[in-house]
Structure 1
């Protein structure tokens, strides 16, 4: 079982380019697993963790409802945003500057074969990170992601999750609002959940801007512990 995870920070990168790169890594791992099964090759499968920040973009998951996007193509263009239908679970979400997007492309055979546990550990990574900033974050029953003030009229989401998995290989991941422009969330019904607000770490802490690199380091530290993984930083080439 390979517990090493190759970390790449792609910086700010177009959503479609990043999606294509994810698909490439995802397929390479799947091909290895298929070869192992067919040929009993016993080849080690890799694990990856991508950090990225996207220009303004809305994405709709396989089970999503297009009516949850509240603007048309022309209005999207005026806002400098793109839109894609994609192959993850979940409904509609937004990515943009000031948001930490993480894409773990893991072979869960190297860790544990339980998608529910996988999602809960990603949530826990964010919950533990927020606790370091003095915020009590929680899960909300039946609503994947990380929330504040669950069970009150002030419930608000700070991190969205949506993943795809095949043969226990994962792709897509989480979007954590750190210094996000929350105005863009008004252009959709986030994750298809009406009457629930969205927030960002800088808003919660009453600061203009949070050190995003510091937040990333906290996330990675918790990821390593929760997944019993060893992160290996790799200089990006894409």
Structure 2
């Protein structure tokens, strides 16, 4: 499978998420153990470089496994990683994004304490900052299921189930990747609470999701978020009227993601 870029803007028509993968149904050589790393607040470039290192190592192992299979040897299981972090204020623009959707020039960026990166995921521009739970799964989907659209729905569903624990009814909007409040057709004020953008190379993923927990939403006023002009952005703090510990949200999200993937964690 060649590299694919999936955007934070468009997606196929929404379908109900498929049943979780049964852990007992794994095939020989599949590894559903996921190494979780909680990185705290860390610069965007640092984590991007780390993702690229993990991706490259997994792809190299898959290449060696292919040669081993041709020689009649047993493959070595590929690893899976989940990086959880927060970032200092940063705007990222995907490959299909429009630079004009960033409404700040270089000096204004500096004045707001923010940086800017063009990156290799699909989609347009988004913001990451303190108080936002960012998750970067570097998973070999050969260990789970080889369906990138199902994978995106799994990420969305894990967030939807987590928000339900806080009394927030979240869901999907047809044609728009991510998780929304007031998502029903005809709802007066649809608000995005979680953005997603994914790259997949030979079934190994990188990039991921960004859930606004206590995010400073004023930063979204300096961009056209994900290129969408007619819908708002929100956070758990704004909706609930109180600050929520990001680590608490992490701890609630992890079991949902494991269930939907049929994964186990090495923490």
Question: How high is the TM-score relative to the length of structure 2?
Answer: 0.86
Indicate the residue corresponding to 2:127 in structure 1.
94
* Structure 1 residue 202 corresponds to structure 2 residue 237: yes
* 2:219 equivalent among 140, 163, 184: 184
User: For the residues of structure 1 that align with 2:108 and 2:67, how far apart are their CA atoms?
Assistant: 50
Tell me, in whole angstroms, the C-alpha distance in 2 between the residues paired with 1:229 and 1:127: 18
CA RMSD of the aligned region, Å?
Answer: 0.8
SS in 1 for 2:208: strand
2:31 corresponds to 1:2: yes
Q: Which runs of 5+ in 2 are unaligned?
A: 1-29
The aligned runs of 1:1-238 (5 Å cut-off) are: 1-40=30-69, 42-150=75-183, 151=185, 152-207=187-242, 209-233=243-267
Aligned to 2:14: none
Aligned residue for 2:7? Answer: none
Partners in 1 of 2:266 and 2:68 — Cα distance?
Answer: 29
Tell me by how many angstroms 1:38 deviates: 2.3
Could you tell me how far apart the structure 2 residues matched to 1:160 and 1:218 are?
18
How far apart, in 1, do the equivalents of 2:92 and 2:239 lie? 25
Query: Which structure has the higher relative contact order (CA within 8 Å, separation 6+)?
Result: 2
TM-aligned CA deviation for residue 153 of structure 1: 2.8
> What are structure 1's unaligned runs of at least 5 residues?
234-238
Task: Provide runs of 4+ in structure 1 moved above 6 Å.
Answer: none
SS in structure 1 of the partner of residue 209 of structure 2: strand
Number of aligned positions between the proteins: 232
SS at match of 1:103: strand
Shift of 1:39: 2.9
> SS at 1:195's partner residue?
coil
Structure 1 position 112, deviation (Å): 0.1
- TM-score normalised by the chain length of structure 1: 0.96
- Return the index of the structure with the highest Cα Rg: 2
In structure 1, C-alpha distance between the alignment counterparts of 2:133 and 2:258, rounded to whole Å = 17
